[in-house]
């Protein structure tokens, strides 16, 4: 993925061979060559990059924790379970950023069984990518859930059950670990005290096929899901607004407009999160695809460009909580209530359920 051994910088070529002896010989040669050609400025850039990642990890961990508090304090955790799961995944992604890159700053020389497991479980950034890929899957689940509740509102009320939502949550977590753990152990190893993560492939063809599959599955498919679902959602909301404009029932109009206001607020928030993902993850997804097609391209990418691409990808999981805090009204009010000198009026908007048909018909019954 994006692991960068400190002794070889990012110019280490990806090793694709079938014999262990040749792997060791090729790796040792590349390591010596790269070490002798590494400049002090390159080492300095890597150090500052790792420090910057630790900083954004700390900020992201704290921000996601605050958003989770806001979701629970505003009683939204029962209504938007998948959104809560999304923030939990982002929280752990940021937490593992801090832990992983803090250990990388120590620049340990890896030896023995302990060094091997430290490489596999931490220095390979395996926990980060497990949570990161699970976050992508869960974000698609949130999008599909919004799509069903808006475009097929009647069907979702009758057919969409809680066990389906919780199954989607579990699938997101399981998919991240099932994908990343075998990949890490199959393509990573410790050589010369250095952790070579995702660099040892059985053949160049297997690396190429995986790179194309990863790009299509975890970027293109996610992007297509966003575009299709939110495009249909916006069409459905516009149609509902035009229908509501033709009704004159004051009581029904008030209740329905309040429900639509909540629904629209959630959808706007998730659209911003999706756009943030599309923009921040695009450079890394394209770069990773190209590097799997031609690993030698890594030797021609400037250090600054390489680290900028990785940093942008990591930045995504740290910006999400700020979107929730600014755009998601229940969370925004809950967080503002934490400020001692700031008095925020309690509004009943978060207590209104998405299906307000019972409330909407109450004024009509009272007139009979």
Q: Which domains does the chain have, with CATH numbers?
A: 9-360 (1.20.1070.10)
Most trustworthy range by pLDDT among 4-13, 31-40, 230-239: 230-239
pLDDT score for 184:
95
- Mean pLDDT, rounded, for 158-175: 93
Q: Looking at the DSSP assignment, which residues form a beta bridge with residue 189?
A: 196
Bridge-based pairing of strands 200-201 and 15-16 is parallel
- Say what percent of the chain tops pLDDT 90: 43
User: pTM for this structure?
Assistant: 0.78
| Sequence-separated (6 or more) residues with CB below 8 Å from residue 239 | none
- Mean pLDDT, rounded, for 321-332: 81
What value, to the nearest 5°, has the Cα angle with vertex 363 and ends 357 and 365? 90
Reported as a single tens digit per residue, the pLDDT across 169-199 is: 999 999 999 999 999 999 999 999 999 999 9
Choose among 348, 367, 346: nearest CA to 356.
Answer: 348
Among 9-18, 213-222, 246-255, 342-351, the least confident range? 9-18
pLDDT score for 260:
66
Per the CB < 8 A criterion, the answer to whether 291 and 298 are in contact is: yes
Q: Would you tell me how many other CB atoms lie within 10 Å of the CB of residue 224? A: 12
């Amino acid at each position: 993925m994006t692991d960068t051994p400190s002794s070889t910088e990012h110019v280490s070529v990806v090793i694709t061979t079938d014999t262990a002896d040749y792997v060791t010989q090729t790796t040792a040669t590349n390591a010596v060559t790269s070490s002798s050609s590494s400049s002090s400025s390159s080492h300095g850039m890597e150090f500052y990059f790792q420090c910057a990642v630790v900083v954004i990890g700390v900020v992201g961990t704290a921000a996601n924790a605050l958003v989770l508090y806001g979701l629970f304090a505003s009683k939204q955790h029962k209504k938007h379970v998948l959104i809560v799961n999304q923030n939990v995944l982002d929280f752990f992604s940021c937490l593992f950023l801090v832990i992983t890159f803090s250990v990388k700053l120590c620049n340990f020389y890896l030896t023995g069984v302990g060094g091997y497991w430290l490489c596999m479980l931490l220095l390979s950034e395996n926990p980060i990518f497990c949570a990161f890929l699970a976050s992508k899957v869960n974000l698609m689940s949130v999008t599909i859930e919004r799509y069903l509740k808006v475009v097929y509102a009647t069907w979702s009320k009758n057919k969409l059950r809680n066990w389906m939502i919780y199954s989607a949550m579990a699938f997101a977590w399981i998919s991240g670990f099932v994908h990343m753990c075998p990949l890490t152990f199959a393509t990573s190893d410790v050589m010369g005290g250095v952790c070579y993560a995702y660099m040892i492939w059985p053949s160049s063809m297997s690396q190429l096929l995986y790179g194309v599959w990863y790009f299509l599955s975890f970027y293109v498919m996610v992007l297509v899901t966003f575009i299709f679902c939110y495009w249909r959602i916006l069409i459905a909301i516009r149609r509902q607004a035009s229908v509501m404009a033709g009704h004159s029932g004051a009581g029904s109009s008030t209740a329905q407009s309040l429900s639509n206001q909540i629904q629209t607020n959630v959808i706007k928030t998730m659209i911003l999160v999706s756009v943030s993902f599309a923009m921040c993850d695009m450079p890394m997804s394209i770069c990773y695809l190209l590097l799997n097609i031609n690993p030698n391209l890594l030797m021609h990418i400037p250090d600054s460009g390489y680290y900028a691409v990785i940093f942008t990808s990591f930045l995504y999981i740290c910006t999400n909580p700020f979107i929730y805090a600014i755009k998601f009204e229940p969370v925004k009010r809950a967080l503002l209530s934490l400020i001692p000198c700031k008095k925020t009026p309690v509004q009943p908007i978060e207590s209104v359920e998405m299906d307000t048909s019972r409330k909407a018909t109450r004024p009509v019954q009272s007139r009979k």
